[in-house]
């Protein structure tokens, strides 16, 4: 390789990287260099080649052409990954989790646990985590767990010249926790590692990154310092066109009459005395931190969990004692936060779409394959689900398209109320805009009501007619129409 001056030698450089999946050209000759002591944001929509690049670096895929250079002698050993699911064993202690990837300190042929605990304590102290390292890692907060995973990854890198890849480290964190983690990440640059930071949260990227690399359809479309870039420019780079973010219903708020859904003084495990109403044609957002009771509210309304007090009225009827199945029949639809609970992994796309509509797939006494196909193809077309074929397993679809399936399967049942728990978590901005546009369109055309439970304040501010803020199980404030801005929401949620 043409040797640049040693001081500027990148920690990791790829040249002319190509990758094919069958007929798909996933990477089309990507050249990019990542320097030590910098945070490099790696951006791109689903299908941009971003994950392919990272998987090649991880050694999971073989590149079909091109070269990869590491500055450090240990080559591929000088790269560490923290994936979205962290790879921690929640029931094992912090010490055990840290020890999983390195050798144990032995004392006469036995593991010396006092020594291991001391080392773990020391390591975490460097990241400002003070905790009893003998407790299970699952008892730590989400940001602390992520930090433990990062500390473990860094510990596996050589003293200098390593590369750390962080894949959506904040996707599951509330904003306040995310801020804490971002500070930790910034601190890592002092250790002389190059950080590859992957996130769909653009505000975060603008706050933390030194340099930005954007991939689109397998091509490198941008690589350079973040200075001078704003959110709008980043969106244009990622999607390839301008996107109008945020749609709101003008006439909301002045609706009088019987509400579609009324939650009256409902309590649950975390919820305390919650009262709210949703009118037809209205999208109501619930903002709140993880653990505020936000998700529980959705589960209670859908009947997945029993309330301890109060009642839930849907369309004038008390549905509190009614089963989930009966609520579905009444016209309530629910999209859960965990995508694995919204789709049936391993089953074909068609089966996923038809399972909620089995009655309409019957022809006489038996299910008809033709009707199944018709129903599935109809939904795929209406909601622009990108799938190679409805007979393929749902797992072959991108996250955004899986989410469209999770939502679209309800539509034949003509639901009148949608409950959406973090509907676009981990989904790129293009797909996210499409999904919310669909939701708004459905709500308008069919005069449905929707309840959006989300921790992303931008989403709530962009698409909801009203936003209620939940703190420690109680609704603490309400914002409507013009008052809803990310700043106002942030103030209501975090008090700053």
Partner 1 sequence: MQLAKTLVGKYGLVVVLLLLIVFFSAMKPEFFPTRANAGSIMSDNAILTLVALGVMVPLIVGQFDVSVGFVATLGVMLTAGLLSRDDLPWPLVVLIVTGCGAAIGLLMGILVGYVGLNSLIVSLGVGSTIQGIVLLYSNGEVIFQGISKSFQLLGQTRLFGFIPLPFLYALIAGIVLWFILTLRPIGRRLYAIGGSPEAARIIGINVKRYVAGSFVVSSTVAAFAGCLQVARVGAGHPTAAQALLLPAFAAAFLGATAFRPGFYNVWGTFIAVYLVGAGTTGLFMLGADAYVQPIFNGTILVLAVTGARLGVLRKARIMNAKAGAGDQELGGPQSDGKAELKVAGGMSN
Residues that bind partner 1 (CB under 8 A): 19, 21-24, 26, 46-52, 54-55, 58, 60-61, 83-85, 167-168, 198, 302, 304, 323-329, 334, 336, 338, 340-347, 351, 354-356, 358-359, 361-362, 365-367, 387-388, 392-393, 395-399, 409, 426
Shortest Å, Cβ 53 to partner 1: 10
Tally the residues of the chain. Answer: 496
Of 454, 452, 461, nearest to 425 by C-alpha is 454
Query: How far is the C-alpha of 435 from the C-alpha of 383, rounded, in Å?
Result: 9
Shortest CB 2 distance to partner 1, Å: 30
Residue 180 or 409 having the CB closest to partner 1? 409
Beginning with the edge strand found earlier in the chain, give each strand of the sheet holding 317-318 in spatial order: 274-278, 261-267, 309-314, 317-318
Instruction: Work out how close the CB of 339 gets to partner 1 at its nearest, in angstroms, rounded to a whole number.
Output: 10
Closest CA to 199 of 387, 39, 335, 373: 39
Q: What minimum distance in Å lies between the beta carbon of 180 and partner 1?
A: 23
Report in angstroms how near the CB of residue 343 gets to partner 1 at its nearest: 7
- Sign of the CA dihedral running 433, 435, 439, 445: positive
Please identify, using beta-carbon distances, which residue of 79 and 397 lies nearer to partner 1: 397
Token pair 């089995």: residue: 358
Q: Which long-range contacts (CB under 8 A, 24 or more apart) does 123-132 make?
A: 123/98, 123/151, 123/155, 124/94, 124/148, 124/151, 126/151, 127/151, 127/184, 127/187, 128/184, 131/94, 132/94
Nearer to partner 1, 24 or 441 (CB): 24
Task: Identify which of residues 94 and 196 has a Cβ nearer to partner 1 in the complex.
Answer: 196
Q: How many angstroms from the chain centroid is the CA of residue 185?
A: 19
Residue in the structure block whose two tokens are 């767990």 = 145
Nearer to partner 1, 95 or 352 (CB): 352
3-class DSSP assignment, residue 284: strand
Q: How far is the CB of 400 from partner 1 (least distance, A)?
A: 10
If residue 438 lies in a helix (H) or strand (E), which one and from where to where? helix 429-446
DSSP state of 477: E
| 105: its two tokens | 């300190």
**Comparison of 123 and 379: residue with beta carbon closer to partner 1:** 379
Q: How far is the CB of 52 from partner 1 (least distance, A)?
A: 5
Using the minimum distance from each CB to partner 1, give the nearer residue, 52 or 471: 52
């Amino acid at each position: 390789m043409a040797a640049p001056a040693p001081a500027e030698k990148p920690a990791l450089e790829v040249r002319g990287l190509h990758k094919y999946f069958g007929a798909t050209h996933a990477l089309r000759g990507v050249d990019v260099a990542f320097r030590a002591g910098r945070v490099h944001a790696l951006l791109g929509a689903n299908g941009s080649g971003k994950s392919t690049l990272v998987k090649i670096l991880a050694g999971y895929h073989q590149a079909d052409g091109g070269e990869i250079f590491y500055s450090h002698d240990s080559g591929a050993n000088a790269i560490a990954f923290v994936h979205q699911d962290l790879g921690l064993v929640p029931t094992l202690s912090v010490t055990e989790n840290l020890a999983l990837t390195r050798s144990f300190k032995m004392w006469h042929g036995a593991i010396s646990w006092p020594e291991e605990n001391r080392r773990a304590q020391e390591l975490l102290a460097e990241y400002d985590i003070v905790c009893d390292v003998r407790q299970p890692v699952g008892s730590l907060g989400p940001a602390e767990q992520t930090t433990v995973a990062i500390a473990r990854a860094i510990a596996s890198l050589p003293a200098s010249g390593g590369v750390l890849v962080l894949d959506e480290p904040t996707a599951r964190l509330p904003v306040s926790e995310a801020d804490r983690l971002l500070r930790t990440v910034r601190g890592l640059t002092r250790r002389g590692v190059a950080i590859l930071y992957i996130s769909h949260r653009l505000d975060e990227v603008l706050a933390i990154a030194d340099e930005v690399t954007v991939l689109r359809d397998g091509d490198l479309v941008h690589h350079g310092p973040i200075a001078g870039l704003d959110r709008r420019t980043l969106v244009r780079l990622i999607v390839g066109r301008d996107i109008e973010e945020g749609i709101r219903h003008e006439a909301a708020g002045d609706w009088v009459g019987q509400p579609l859904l009324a939650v009256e003084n409902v309590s649950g495990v975390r919820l305390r005395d919650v009262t709210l109403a949703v009118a037809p044609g209205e999208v109501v957002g619930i903002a709140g931190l993880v653990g505020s009771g936000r998700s529980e509210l959705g589960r209670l309304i859908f009947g997945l969990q029993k309330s301890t007090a109060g009642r839930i009225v849907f369309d004038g009827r008390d549905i509190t004692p009614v089963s989930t199945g009966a609520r579905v029949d009444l016209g309530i639809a629910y999209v859960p936060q965990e995508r694995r609970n919204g789709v049936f992994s391993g089953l074909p796309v068609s089966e996923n779409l038809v399972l909620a509509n089995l009655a309409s797939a019957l022809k006489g006494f038996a299910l008809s394959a033709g009707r199944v196909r018709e129903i599935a193809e109809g939904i795929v077309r209406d909601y622009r689900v990108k799938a190679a074929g409805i007979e393929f397993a749902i797992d072959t679809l991108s996250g955004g398209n899986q989410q469209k399936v999770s939502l679209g399967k309800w539509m034949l049942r003509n639901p009148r109320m949608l409950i959406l728990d973090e509907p676009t978590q981990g989904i790129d901005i293009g797909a996210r805009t499409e999904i919310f546009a669909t939701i708004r369109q459905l709500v308008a055309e069919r005069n449905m009501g929707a309840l959006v439970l989300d921790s992303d304040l931008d989403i709530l501010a962009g698409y909801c007619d009203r936003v209620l803020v939940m703190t420690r199980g109680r609704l603490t404030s309400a914002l409507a129409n013009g008052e809803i801005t990310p700043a106002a929401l942030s103030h209501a949620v975090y008090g700053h």
